[in-house]
Amino acid sequence: MQAPAEESSSDEFSGRLGLIFATIGAAIGTGNIWRFPRMVGANGGGSFLVPWLIFLFLWSIPLVIAEFALGKRSRTGTVGTFRIFAGRGMAWMGLWTAWISTAIGFYYAVVTGWCLNYFQTAIRGGLTSEVDTVEVWNSFLQNPLEVVAFQALAVIITMAAIWKGAKAIEKVNVTLMVSLFILLFAALFLSFVMDLEDGTLDGFVYMFSIQPEYLMEPETWINGLSQSAWSCSAGMGMAITYSVYMRKDEDTTLNAATMCLANNSISIIAGLTVMMAVFAVVDDPLSAVSGGSSAITFLVLPEVFAQAPGGPMMQLAMVAMFFLALSFAALTSMISTVELCVRNFVDHGVDRSLAVGFTSIAIFLFGLPSAFLWIMMDDSTGVAFPQFLEVQDHIWGYGLMFSGLFIAYSIWKYGWTQYKVWQDENGVEGFDFREYVDHGVSAFRGDFINTGDNDWWIGRWWDIVMYVGFPLMFSVLMLSYFGDLLANVHDPWNPSNPHGISIILLFWGITAGLFFGLNKYILINRIVPTNGSSVIGSFFTRNFELEPRPLYRNVPAGADVPIHMLPGGDDPFVIEAGAALPDTFVDEYGVKKVHTLSVSLAIGQNNYEK
């Protein structure tokens, strides 16, 4: 057994393949398989693909490149990355990013449980053509014990996958992703056969036919942007987290492009599978395919696949393959969601096993309301729906957009800092836009992206996207979202309206205010009681002192990842995992004090040596 300060520091993927499969697994989720076909059906088929692909290169890939670059240099999760790149006072931005992902994970575990349940229902023959799919859906959703059981199964599988760290995450993602590819290609072939039977291939044709009138609609472009923003997990902190496990010489740019292109390829395959199958057997395919996420996935598609060619066995294989693929996609996203949270705990000295257990239990408990609370019935259709879960998605779904904005802010701040450094070194005063572009705007790209390890050299276009394009696209997304709420939601400013604006702003404001307040007392410092009471008790009685909270970087042996030039890089308590803590620190009043953790580690070392 090793003393805590000497524990092994490096936990990394075995190579590029493991990193790519892990990041692809993080990006590919249920949205690729059930939301994407709905967007295609509602926005003119191939017409939707045009803005969707454009925003892949204007939003997703540039933002994922930034995440990879941030995480590879910081070698910490989201909280540590913002503490290092944006400064000690901005660590709360990393907590916001981690929270949004984790909050989505609360109800995403429930959705993953739905997928697992439908797979086992399919293989038991419970989704045949004789079955009423509405009744299957309603009876399941209104049975809280069954929903919670499958939610728990999803959490347990996720916990087992990440328990041992990067190598385990890599193996699980490779297995699940390869299986997902095989299942989707098999389902695609069967859907192609179904669509070919009538000799028209109308589903295939609609998928790739461009209807110019849709391209004239702003809604088509906004939907393309939103699908691209969510689908690749760009800005969610997933790429930051997995880049912590990069090998020291791993490329960032090609990996980012590969991840996003693979994600979009899976969306195309899933979209074709759904569109061709639906067009083959449904009289009004566009209404069916655009009828809502749960409607198309759990109500329409089982009926569609039950009519697949080849008889009962082929129909069983079709529906089982689809829901198994959907389950794999959901699980890989769950793995990245939980790992993002766990990584932040590990960075701050928490044992990995404890962090995995605590995070998994929290995700399960906080997800329980989404599993059984406010299960309502739509009187017009007779279909049950999870009101509480939909409210959570309403609140936190767009919150991840701010995570992307915070990433852009870190890049802007670094650029401005480097511009001021260049001015000081060259005795330049005042502000010159051209000099700022050359020595400030391009600084992040030159220092952290085009490092010599990248296979794909990134040009000035990336600067334009991050400094100009990204804030514009962010503004369009937010304005369109709130504009839609104002136009289409009754009484949108009523705080009790679960679909309104006030409830979003209320939760966002409280969360941001709380995290901002925690920045000083929890994220960059730790409370040390002075009267023997608990941390919480001493906080309210003000009987405590603050000392710096250590941040441990996961740096591979021989990696050259200096951070001294960064806003938070001069913090002596940001150290490599396994390195010794400084013995002393200077408090906020300028008094030099002994750090209590360094004392306890020294005592532990002495006991170990004895």
Check: CB of residue 33 under 8 Å from CB of residue 326: yes
pLDDT tens per residue, range 31-79: 888 889 889 988 999 999 999 999 999 999 999 999 999 999 999 999 9
**184: Cβ contacts below 8 Å, ≥ 6 apart:** 266, 269, 270, 273, 325
Domain that holds residue 35: 1-610
pLDDT tens per residue, range 91-142: 999 999 999 999 999 999 999 999 999 999 999 989 888 888 899 999 999 9
User: CA quadruple 405, 407, 411, 413: dihedral positive or negative?
Assistant: positive
Residue whose structure tokens are 């910081």: 74
* DSSP SS3 for 511: helix
* Single-letter code of the amino acid located at 100: I
Q: Is the pLDDT of residue 292 over 80?
A: no
C-alpha dist (Å) from residue 386 to 36, 137, 259? 21, 11, 32
Q: Give 196: exposed, middle or buried? Use CB within 10 Å, 0-12, 13-18, 19+.
A: middle
Q: What is the pLDDT of residue 535?
A: 83
d(CA 576, CA 561): 10
Longest dimension (CA), the chain: 83
Q: Is the pLDDT of residue 521 over 80?
A: yes
d(CA 239, CA 458): 18
d(CA 553, CA 356): 18
pLDDT tens per residue, range 149-161: 999 999 999 999 9
Query: Strand locations in 404-513, DSSP E?
Result: none
Highest mean pLDDT among 147-161, 238-252, 256-270, 555-569 belongs to 147-161
Q: Checking DSSP bridges between strand 574-576 and strand 584-586, what pairing results, if any?
A: unpaired
Q: What is the pLDDT of residue 332?
A: 94
User: What average pLDDT does the segment 529-537 reach?
Assistant: 83
The domain total for the chain is 1
Among the listed ranges 287-301, 311-325, 377-391, 542-556, which one has the minimum average pLDDT value? Answer: 287-301
For helices 312-347 and 16-27, the axis angle rounded to 10 degrees is 110
The CATH number that applies at residue 335 is: 1.20.1740.10
User: What average pLDDT does the segment 291-312 reach?
Assistant: 78
Q: What is the pLDDT of residue 107?
A: 95
Percent of the chain at pLDDT exceeding 90? 61
Percent of the chain at pLDDT exceeding 70? 96
pLDDT tens per residue, range 191-232: 888 888 877 888 899 999 999 999 999 999 999 998 888 888
Quickly state the pLDDT bin for 2 (edges 50, 70, 90). Answer: very low
pLDDT tens per residue, range 354-376: 999 999 999 999 999 999 999 98
C-alpha dist (Å) from residue 313 to 122, 257, 308, 342? 11, 39, 10, 42
Higher pLDDT, 582 or 284: 582
Q: What is the pLDDT of residue 603?
A: 55
Q: Is the pLDDT of residue 610 over 80?
A: no
Phi, psi of 382 (to 5 degrees): 75, 20
Quickly state the pLDDT bin for 4 (edges 50, 70, 90). Answer: very low
Burial 347-374 (b: 16+ CB within 10 A, else e): bbbbebeebbeebbebbbebbbbbbbee
Residues in the chain, overall count: 610
Q: Is the pLDDT of residue 343 over 80?
A: yes
- The vertex-188 CA angle with 184 and 190, nearest 5°, equals 120
The token pair at 510 is 């409280």
d(CA 459, CA 450): 9
d(CA 500, CA 518): 28
pLDDT tens per residue, range 183-197: 999 989 988 888 888
Phi, psi of 550 (to 5 degrees): -65, 145
pLDDT tens per residue, range 560-572: 899 999 999 999 9
d(CA 572, CA 551): 10
Enumerate the β-bridge partners of residue 528: 545
pLDDT tens per residue, range 441-499: 999 999 999 988 777 899 999 999 999 999 999 999 999 999 999 999 999 999 889 88
Q: Give 528: exposed, middle or buried? Use CB within 10 Å, 0-12, 13-18, 19+.
A: middle
Q: What is the pLDDT of residue 294?
A: 66
User: What average pLDDT does the segment 318-343 reach?
Assistant: 94
Would you give the DSSP letter of residue 229?
H
The token pair at 431 is 């502000």
d(CA 329, CA 279): 24
Phi, psi of 464 (to 5 degrees): -65, -45
Higher pLDDT, 368 or 605: 368
Q: What is the pLDDT of residue 5?
A: 40
Per the rule left: phi > 0, alpha: psi between -120 and 50, beta: everything else, 482 is alpha
DSSP-derived secondary structure for 322-375: HHHHHHHHHHHHHHHHHHHHHHHHHHTT--HHHHHHHHHHHHHHHHHHHHHTTE
- Of 429, 370, 24, 41, the closest CA to residue 202 belongs to 41
**335: Cβ contacts below 8 Å, ≥ 6 apart:** 25, 26, 158, 161, 162, 169, 172, 173
- The vertex-24 CA angle with 401 and 230, nearest 5°, equals 20
pLDDT tens per residue, range 572-595: 999 999 888 999 998 888 889 999
Enumerate the β-bridge partners of residue 571: none
Q: Is the pLDDT of residue 327 over 80?
A: yes
For helices 61-74 and 400-426, the axis angle rounded to 10 degrees is 60
Q: Is the pLDDT of residue 295 over 70?
A: no
Q: Give 332: exposed, middle or buried? Use CB within 10 Å, 0-12, 13-18, 19+.
A: buried
Q: What is the pLDDT of residue 9?
A: 52
Residue whose structure tokens are 């409830």: 503
Q: Give the DSSP H or E segment for 137.
A: helix 133-141
**Global confidence as pTM:** 0.92
- Alpha helix (H) ranges present in 492-582? 502-518, 535-541
* DSSP SS3 for 493: coil
Phi, psi of 124 (to 5 degrees): -85, 0
Quickly state the pLDDT bin for 609 (edges 50, 70, 90). Answer: very low
Q: What is the mean pLDDT of the chain?
A: 89
Q: What is the pLDDT of residue 515?
A: 96
